[in-house]
Amino acid sequence: MSGNKTEPKCKNSMTAAPLENLVRRSEVLRLIRKFFEERGFIEVQTPVLSADTIVDRFVEPVAVHNETLPLTHRNDRQYFLQTSPEFAMKRLLASGMTAIYQITPVFRSGDRGRFHNTEFTMLEWYRVGDDYQTGVHFLAELVKFITANISFSEKNINTDFSFATYRNVFECHTGINPHTATAAQLKQTAERFQVPFPDSFDDNTHKDEWLDLLFSELVQKHLRNFIVFDFPASQSQLATTRLIKEDGEEYYVSERFELFLNGLEIANGYNELLDAEELRRRFRSIAEQRQADGKKPLPLESRLIKAMEAGLPPCSGTALGIERLLMYLLKADSIDEVMAFTIDKA
C-alpha cells in the first residue's frame, strides 16, 4: 500500500447539520450538565410517551394509537408523545425531589419551518423554593455560563440582558397598554401600523390572538437580549398570577418570563401554579377554545392534577429550546443547521 493514504470524505449532505455543528452541540450539552451538577441538581428522565398531555390552545401533541402498545397496556386511553416533560417532572417534585433538570426530545405536531421541527430537544428544570425573580436570574446565569465557556465562540456574544415587563416592551413599540386594551383597540393598532391580519379577525376575536399578532409583528424583532416578564394573565398556562396596581389601573399579570435572543424566543419560565382546581378551570377554558377552533379534544384530567392535590411545593421552572440556543450561539439561519436529522431526513 502506498503511504499516500486518502482519508474518506464524510457525506455531509446525509445530515441536516454540518458535522462540526453536531460536535459543537455536544459541547454545549456537556456544559449544561456541568452547570446543573455544580449547583446540586439531579438529572432525571421521564416518559416521552404518556397518557397525559399539556392542554394548550396552539400546541398540538403527536397522538399514538393504542394498537402500537403491548396487549397488556391497551385500554380506552389515548397516548401522546410529550410536548414538554413538565407534568412528569412536577410529579417528581410532589414526590419529594427538590432540584431537577432534564434534556429530552419533545414533539409538536405540524411544526416544521425555519425555527421549528416536529421533534426537537428541550432542557427543562425546576427547583423547590425558587421564586419568580430567582427563576429569571437563574436563566440569565445559565446562558452566561454557556457563552463564557464554549470553545467555538469568538467571545463576542452579548449576554448583557435587559429585563423588562411585557407591558413596557409592548407599549414601547405599539403605544398601547396590552393588559387594559380591548380587542377593538388592538385591531385599530394593527390597522394603524398596517399589520396584515386574517379576514376572520374582528372586534370579537379573542384578545390573546390580537396580542400574539402584534407582539410577533411589532415587538419581538426588537428584543435582542431581553428577558421579558409579567405576561398578560390570560397567557398564564401553568403559572401563578398577581394583581398589579399602577397609573390608576388594576390588572392581573402572569408570573411568566421569556428569554429572547436576536428576536427569537429561546426559553419560557413560570412561577409555578400550585392550585389543582385552578389548573382544572384553565384546562376547561382552553378546551372550549380548542373546540371553537375545531381541534381534537385533549384529556382534562391528568396524574399531575392528582399530584398537585397531594401537594406540589412552591417552585419555579423553565423550559429552554436547545436548538434555538444553538442557532444563536452558531449564528445559524435555520434549525436544520443544528440538528442531525430533521423530520424530512428522519
Q: Give this prediction's pTM.
A: 0.91
From 237, 239, 233, select the one nearest 251 (Cα to Cα).
Answer: 233
Looking up cell 424583532 gives 221
Average pLDDT, stretch 24-44?
98
**Is residue 121 predicted with pLDDT exceeding 60?**
yes
**Lowest-confidence segment of 138-147, 293-302, 336-345 by average pLDDT:** 293-302
pLDDT tens digits, 176-220 = 999 999 999 999 999 999 999 999 998 888 899 999 999 999 999
Check residue 322 and give its pLDDT.
Answer: 98
Give CA–CA dist 9/33, Å, rounded. Answer: 32
Looking up cell 416592551 gives 169
Average pLDDT, stretch 90-118?
94
**Is residue 279 predicted with pLDDT exceeding 60?**
yes
pLDDT bin (cut points 50, 70, 90) of residue 5 is very low
Looking up cell 379534544 gives 297
pLDDT tens digits, 303-329 = 999 999 999 999 999 999 999 999 999
pLDDT bin (cut points 50, 70, 90) of residue 75 is low
Check residue 6 and give its pLDDT.
Answer: 39
Check residue 73 and give its pLDDT.
Answer: 57
Take residue 178 and report the three cell numbers written for it.
396590552
From 317, 227, 229, select the one nearest 270 (Cα to Cα).
Answer: 317
**Is residue 8 predicted with pLDDT exceeding 50?**
no
Give CA–CA dist 249/202, Å, rounded. Answer: 26
From 191, 141, 122, select the one nearest 38 (Cα to Cα).
Answer: 141
Check residue 158 and give its pLDDT.
Answer: 73
pLDDT tens digits, 215-250 = 999 999 999 999 999 999 999 889 999 999 988 889
Average pLDDT, stretch 292-296?
87
Rounded to 5°, angle at Cα 143 from 332 and 261: 45
Looking up cell 455531509 gives 12
Is there a contact between 316 and 273 (Cβ–Cβ < 8 Å)? Answer: no
**134-138 contact pairs (CB < 8 A, 24+):** 134/316, 135/257, 135/269, 135/270, 135/271, 135/316, 135/317, 135/318, 136/163, 136/227, 136/229, 136/257, 136/269, 138/316, 138/318
Give CA–CA dist 241/337, Å, rounded. Answer: 38
Order of strands, edge to edge, in the sheet holding 79-81? 49-50, 79-81, 62-64
Is there a contact between 249 and 152 (Cβ–Cβ < 8 Å)? Answer: no
Average pLDDT along the chain: 91
From 8, 55, 47, 49, select the one nearest 282 (Cα to Cα).
Answer: 55
